[in-house]
A and B are shown apart, each in its own frame.
Chain A
Amino acid sequence: MSDTAQSFPTRVDISLTVNGEPVDARVDVSRHLVDFLRLDLGLTGAHAGCEHGVCGACTLQVDGEIVRGCLMLAAQLDGAEVWTVEGLTETGALADLQAAFVERNALQCGFCTPGMLFAAADILAQGGQPSRVAIREHISGNYCRCTGYEAVVDAIETVAGARARGEEVSA
């Protein structure tokens, strides 16, 4: 490694918000976002699964868009707004989805569930009543090894219908 490459900082200061709370941290540049949340902030809702972007268990929201938490580095988050399942549970933004997942038994071990909820919320945010094919396509990047997906699609479809009709779904 040359002197020039060594002059690249290996720790970086970041200032961001996580679930609406301001966070200032000095992070190792190799730290990915999920480990930063889980190990440094104690927010274990986003799960570290494959850690190369395939399984979707780490899916969460950065600046209003769903992303793979394992495919962003914490160092990239200066100025970012991050939301995890803990935060959106507290605000109630996912309450109807979470209730439908429980109702339809759309989880067994639950490992995929936080990521699945973010993928589901993302297609629901587009509004209207998506087809089952469109729902399947939208959650195709989130692996569930328990349910076979039918119940997950059922739950998302149910919530889409309820939201389209303007119904309240209590948690």
Chain B
Amino acid sequence: MKAAAAGYIRANDLPHAISLLEQSRGEARILAGGQSLIASLNLRLAGETALIDINGVAELSGIELVGEQLRIGALTRHRELASSDLVARHVPAIAQAAPLIAHAAIRNRGTIGGSLAYADPAAELPACMLALDAQIVVRGPAGERRVRAGDFFVDLFTTDLAEDEMIVAVEVPVAVAGERQATMELARRSGDYALAGIVLVDRPSGVRAAFFGVGPTPILATGAMAAIDRGASPDEAAALLEGDLQPLDDVHAPAAVRLHLARVLLRRALAATRS
């Protein structure tokens, strides 16, 4: 079908974008890569919303190392995540996740900020943020605040963002010496949303495993993580996922299949980080 947009303005800079957002009182949305938003507009699922296009806001782009954090601008495209040396070196989980997102033509447009704000429970990047314990940098009329990924993803397609706030960047702790990371997923066809996926961050101080596609938000498998840290075998840890994850039955796969796939992925990811 055809999009139904109620209006469109190109933001010149970040203050302009925020002031438009504030003035619109929740009736406008930020247009970043548009790879989910324009599809929703075309399907008439997004309502008739006005659009604030931030694609020209240069300060939202770029990847830089700031102390022990990698700061990734909200407008960074998936293609840039996949090809960035800084990402590959310091947060390999994101470098591994980026090529799994949709297809080349979509990765050329889709952005990390858009993916996080949309909060699809089967998306890779929200789970990366959770596993990496990243902070989401959010700005609104009252200024900037940082939200830990664990507090950001509230429910299905629902985040901690207020209606007059937008994501400006994420700050991701860089891998420490001896740390290994793995992002894996299982999908019926390349580029589909995953039936189940895992982001495993295996630090000397402890392991963090975030799953996607198996609940309303990305989920930290705290039971399995604690077991692994106590020295449990991959099989023993995988058995505990039943208590950590709440997959639902849907048209793509029954809950039991998703849980099974999550167990397979945990074993594979551990084999990858501990080989």
Contacts and interface: CB of A to CB of B under 8 A. Distances in A.
B3 A66 contact: no
A65 B191 CA distance: 18
Nearest to B191: A140
B2 A32 contact: yes
Interface string B30-65: 010011001101110000101101010000000000
B12 to A, nearest CB: 13
B28 A5 contact: yes
Contact of B7 (A5, A78, A119, A141): A5
A24 interface: no
B25 A4 contact: yes
B147 interface: no
A62 B133 CA distance: 35
A51 B23 CA distance: 31
B251 to A, nearest CB: 15
Nearest to B20: A8
Nearest to A10: B7
Contacts, number: 124
A22 interface: no
A64 B139 CA distance: 32
A30 B38 contact: no
A118 B24 CA distance: 38
Interface string B189-214: 11100000000000000000000000
Nearest to B4: A30
A140 B189 contact: yes
A9 to B, nearest CB: 6
B108 A65 contact: yes
B35 A73 contact: no
Contacts of B190: 136-137, 140
Contact of A141 (B39, B43, B102): B102
Given A35-B2, A67-B108, A137-B190, A53 B27 contact: no
Given A2-B25, A10-B6, A51-B2, A71 B34 contact: yes
A26 to B, nearest CB: 12
Interface of B: 1-10, 23-25, 27-28, 31, 34-35, 38-39, 41-43, 48, 50-51, 53, 55, 79, 102-106, 108-109, 189-191
Top-9 shortest CB links A-B: A8-B7, A141-B103, A29-B8, A5-B27, A8-B50, A52-B39, A140-B190, A65-B108, A66-B105
Interface of A: 1-2, 4-10, 12, 29-32, 35, 51-53, 56, 59, 65-68, 70-73, 75-76, 78, 118-119, 122-123, 136-138, 140-142
17 contacts: A4-B23, A8-B7, A8-B50, A12-B8, A29-B51, A51-B1, A68-B35, A70-B42, A73-B34, A73-B51, A76-B34, A78-B10, A122-B105, A140-B103, A140-B189, A140-B190, A142-B103
